[in-house]
Amino acid sequence: MAFLQWRSNPPAPNDPPYLSQEEIEGVFADLLRRFAIAFGGKAKFFAWLDPLTESAMDQCKGMSHAYCNQTWHDLPPDLQAMLVKFRQDGDE
């Protein structure tokens, strides 16, 4: 929720933390790096992510998006771009 900047205005006591854009990008970059390490490299991470994403999107065909599982395509455009760039940068 912090990535999506969901927050009441004014903030309520149970609102998720509010992160700056710089903080969000830093946390997301770290998350991508950690996933790649956990999976044994970027190639293995994307070998897991791509079929999972495709399956979620296939199951959703013809349904309202409200009933679909979220995928990385539901992230804000800037985070989607970070994921695409992370993929394109090759294995590190």
Is residue 2 assigned to a domain? no
Dihedral angle, C-alpha 67, 25, 10, 1, nearest 10 °: 30
| 13: in domain | no
- Average pLDDT of the residues in 3-26: 71
Residue 7 lies in a domain: no
pLDDT interval class at 20 (50, 70, 90) = confident
Two tokens at 72? 């990385």
In a domain, 10, yes or no: no
Rounded to two decimals, what is the model's pTM?
0.76
The answer, yes or no, to whether residue 7 has pLDDT greater than 70, is: no
**Domain membership flag for residue 6:** no
Query: Which range of residues forms the domain containing residue 59?
Result: 21-88
Q: Which of 24, 23, 6 is nearest to 15 (CA)?
A: 6
Higher pLDDT, 66 or 29: 29
Percent of the chain whose predicted confidence (pLDDT) is above 70: 83
Structurally, the chain folds into a number of domains equal to 1
Examine residue 73 and state whether it is found in any structural domain, yes or no: yes
Evaluate if residue 10 carries a pLDDT over 70. no
Asked whether residue 31 is domain-assigned, the answer is: yes
